[in-house]
Amino acid sequence: MTDAPLFWRSEDLPRWHAWQRAQWPLTRRAADTARSTVRGVAGALTRRRSTGDDAPRLLLPAGDVHTLVALESFGPTQLAALASPVAALATARPEAAAGVGWVLPAGDAPALPGAVGHREHAATADVVTDRLPGLRRVLVAGEYLPSGRAAVRWARQRGARVGVVQHGLLAVSTPPVPRDATLYAFTSADADWWTQGRADVEAVAVGSALLEQARRAAPAPSDTAGDGPGVFLGQLHGAELPRRDFAAAAEQYVRATGAAYRPHPAERDRLSRGQHAAWRRAGVRIDDAGAPLVATRGPVAAVFSTGILEAAQAGRPAWAVHPDPPAWLEGFWRRYGMTRWRPGRTPEPTPPLASPTADPAAAIAEHVWKESA
């Protein structure tokens, strides 16, 4: 099978971490090695200060906690996947939502559903022991980042259930689903691809709350400025393909169409900034204003960004671009119904991704909290 994940067994997670680290630039790997050495000498305090990989924070209600929801960031994909089901629960059963706590990353948290009156706590061993005796389930995006890793560990220690919500499109290097979990996937095809028939994972196809939000937020047809060159969504930071592939795809599209290049928020490294500067000198428009995608106009293109499907949900022309795609990328495009753009051709736009449910967030909430909280 050409379109299969590199890491699909739960025990593949250490290999995924090693693979991910191997994709870092040499300078970042050297810095990480140096930090690890310092941590070994100076202990936990130096570790926290040098890596930023602090123990996650807990946002807990005054009463019993039956559910923990683990956020790795406060970005739109995480909030759509993990916070919107709690919002649906708070609407349908506010008394149940009152027992939902949160595992938070660093930074200022937005207002979270059902969390009025919650208090923040450091995730110390005493707090976890004292406040989570009645934990029955956790909801995570995975166990490969700090918040999810902690939540899954606490769930295992207490015999609580683990729910995993798909929060983005699944590329070849997607980390594996934790063992003995329930997976809430965008589609049955995604669930089959991600789990490869694993017997320990219950898969439920629910759709994407993020794509449903894009559909609902789409302006009326008369208000949509479909004309114009549009934007190409950058992914220079991606580890799945060589940087030169992402750059070649962007150059091919923007030079043929006049579209603006829209950098990904993670394109802050030296190499990415240098590429942006070179493109500016060559006359390429760089759209780095940071406005949401819905505020842009015209067609949308990318190598394999979720933005392709967000645009399609909103009724905008959207395409996938790569001059010479590897087999896994062609399989990825097929799985999501993405239409490939080529120079000199005007293909049919990518169609909206069909959702298995009318309201993915509500469907997740109904399944996760189907019994009394």
SS (H, E, C) the chain: CCCCCCCCCHHHHHHHHHHHHHCCCHHHHHHHHHHHHHHHHHCHHHHHHHHCCCCCEEEECCCCCCEEEECCCCCHHHHHHHHHHHHHHHHHCHHHHCCEEEEECCCCCCCCCCCCCCEEEECCHHHHHHHCCCCCEEEECCCCCHHHHHHHHHHHHHCCEEEEECCCCCCCCCCCCCCCCEEEECCHHHHHHHHCCCCCCEEEECCCHHHHHHHHHCCCHHHCCCCCCCEEECCCCCCCCCHHHHHHHHHHHHHHHCCEEECCCCCCCHHHHHHHHHHHHCCCCECCCCCCHHHCCCCEEECCCHHHHHHHHCCCCEEECCCCCCHHHHHHHHHHCCCECCCCCCCCCCCCCCCCCCCHHHHHHHHHCCCCC
Domain boundaries, the chain: 10-23+35-208+358-368, 216-336
pLDDT tens for the chain, 373 residues long, are 467 899 999 999 999 999 988 887 665 555 556 655 555 655 544 444 433 445 789 999 999 999 999 999 999 999 999 999 999 999 999 999 999 999 999 999 999 999 999 999 999 999 999 999 999 999 999 999 999 999 999 999 999 999 999 999 999 999 999 999 999 999 999 999 999 999 999 999 999 999 999 999 888 765 544 578 999 999 999 989 999 999 999 999 999 999 999 999 999 999 999 999 999 999 999 999 989 998 899 999 999 999 999 999 999 999 999 999 999 999 999 999 999 999 998 899 999 999 999 999 999 999 999 976 6
Q: Using an 8 Å Cβ cutoff, are 164 and 140 in contact?
A: yes
pLDDT recorded at residue 288:
93
**pLDDT tens figures, 142-151:** 999 999 999 9
pLDDT recorded at residue 371:
73
Residue with tokens 């997740």: 364
Q: In percent, how much of the chain has pLDDT > 90? A: 83
Instruction: Give whole-number Cα distances, 308 to 168, 195, 209, 352, 357, in Å.
Output: 12, 24, 15, 9, 20
Mutual angle of helices 188-195 and 327-336, in 10-degree steps: 150
Please tell me the distance from the alpha carbon of residue 214 to that of residue 294, in angstroms, as a whole number: 8
Task: Please name the residues in contact with 98: beta carbons below 8 A apart, sequence gap of 6 or more.
Answer: 61, 63, 114
pLDDT recorded at residue 265:
92
Please tell me the distance from the alpha carbon of residue 148 to that of residue 47, in angstroms, as a whole number: 19
Residue 241, amino acid: L
pLDDT recorded at residue 46:
44
Residue 107, amino acid: G
**pLDDT tens figures, 192-251:** 999 999 999 999 999 999 999 999 988 876 554 457 899 999 999 998 999 999 999 999
